[in-house]
Amino acid sequence: MNTRRTGGPAALRWSRAKWRNALLQVLILAAAIAGALWLARNTAANLDERGIAVGWGFLSRPGYFPISQSVLPYSASDTIGWAFAVGLANTLLMSVLIVVLSTVLGFALALARRSSKVLVAGLAAAVVDVLRNTPVIVQLLFWYSLVTLGLPDIHRALHPIAGVFLSNRGVYLPALKIDGPAVPVRLVWLGLAAGALLAGSASILRPGRRRILLYAAALAWAIAALIWATVGLSVGLRPPRLEHVNFIGGLQLSPEFAAMALGLVLYSSVYVGEIIRGGIEAVPKGQWEAGLSLGLTRSQTLRLLILPQAFRTIIPPLTSQYINVVKNTTLALVVGYPDISFVAASAISETGQAVECVVILMAVFLLISLLAAAGMNTLNRKFALPSR
């Protein structure tokens, strides 16, 4: 139908409102742009006055600040740009560790809170209340002081199970090590990791698509096994051992790392647990009854019927919780674990390039948030109710 507007009071009013709205928006945008320009001009003037040249050149200069521990190799004479990469790797390592561990622990906590055993449910509820109602930064400081002051010194390190030592200088665990020439060992690790990644992502897909990924995972593992057999590698657990004043070998975690991991895992597992519990409780009770009346056990019903449906409610809040984990790793500053914000703070105090360093930090975290949101949308589509 053709709706031609004819002139008249109503149309006049409509167009007046339209004009007013357009004018309003132009004014608001102009004000925002003017404000941003004003701030930028002030910043430029202030930087000029302090003799700080704006630009990214500082990234290729050496920073001369120490990074006490890192996954990537680093020395104080490396460039600041590389220091940022090292800090980012530390942030990501800590985030992945916390996401994995807090999901496992959070799931256990959710089941414990739903338990019919009064003692278990009560204890879990108390833990949730205490951890949720105190600031995470206080918790981190508490765990850090517990690790550095509460644990005995290195000669009297606690030794709860074989190969594990707890002391005020850090936590020592046995390391899983593959022996042999460097290149094949790396290839084997790569194959094992790729296989695990593929198999892991297969478990969240529908059966039809799952098969391809599972074949790929099997292929990766087969290649790893082939290299293993042809080169003749061997694997062993290397427990740390005390020699004079220090532990040698094994996996050594600094007190900062241990306190960060412990504190953040506990803190976020409480939130993950409550999200999972909420998701499970959002599934109608009839689903439980249907499963049980079909002769499934409670754990089978949970695994086959309840959890797949609960995932729909769980995924969005869980994703934002995971983003929170990445954001919370910036609290590493307070215990001295060198994450990316530590590197940024060091670089700022070393070079004075505050604007650029803050821009890098912002870009990194916004990128991580965007990627996580995109990942969540994909998952959401996978788990959405098939509509007919």
Strand ranges, E, within the chain: 165-167, 170-173, 175-179, 234-238, 241-243, 246-248, 251-253
What is each CA distance from 112 to 80, 119, 120, 204, 363, in whole angstroms?
47, 9, 6, 24, 39
Shortest CB 363 distance to another protein, Å: 10
For the window 88-127, what string marks contact with another protein as x by the rule CB under 8 A? -----------------------------xxxx--x----
For the window 46-75, what string marks contact with another protein as x by the rule CB under 8 A? xx-x--------------------------
Nearer to another protein, 3 or 133 (CB): 133
Question: Does 132 contact another protein by CB under 8 A?
Answer: yes
Which sign does the torsion angle of CA 241, 244, 248, 254 carry? positive
For another protein, the binding residue among 217, 266, 331, 335 (CB under 8 A) is: 331
Question: Does 216 contact another protein by CB under 8 A?
Answer: no
Q: For residues 204 and 379, give the distance between their C-alpha atoms in angstroms, rounded to a whole number.
A: 8
Relative to beta strand 165-167, strand 175-179 is unpaired
Give the CB-side neighbour count of residue 264, counting CA atoms within 13 A: 29
**Which parts of 151-190 interact with another protein (CB under 8 A)?**
none
Q: For residues 76 and 70, give the distance between their C-alpha atoms in angstroms, rounded to a whole number.
A: 12
For another protein, the binding residue among 90, 103, 139, 301 (CB under 8 A) is: 139
Q: Are 131 and 267 in contact (CB under 8 A)?
A: yes
φ, ψ of residue 100 in degrees (nearest 5): -65, -50
For another protein, the binding residue among 10, 39, 100, 212 (CB under 8 A) is: 39
Please identify, among the stretches 35-43, 153-161, 202-210, 375-383, the one whose residues bind another protein according to the rule CB under 8 A.
35-43
* Helix, strand, coil % in the chain, rounded to nearest 5: 70, 5, 20
Question: Does 133 contact another protein by CB under 8 A?
Answer: yes
> Residues in the site for another protein, rule: CB under 8 A?
21, 24-26, 28-29, 32, 39, 42-43, 45-47, 49, 117-120, 123, 129-130, 132-139, 141-142, 145-146, 149-150, 323, 327-328, 330-331, 333-334, 341, 344-345, 348, 354-355, 358, 361-362, 365-366, 369-370
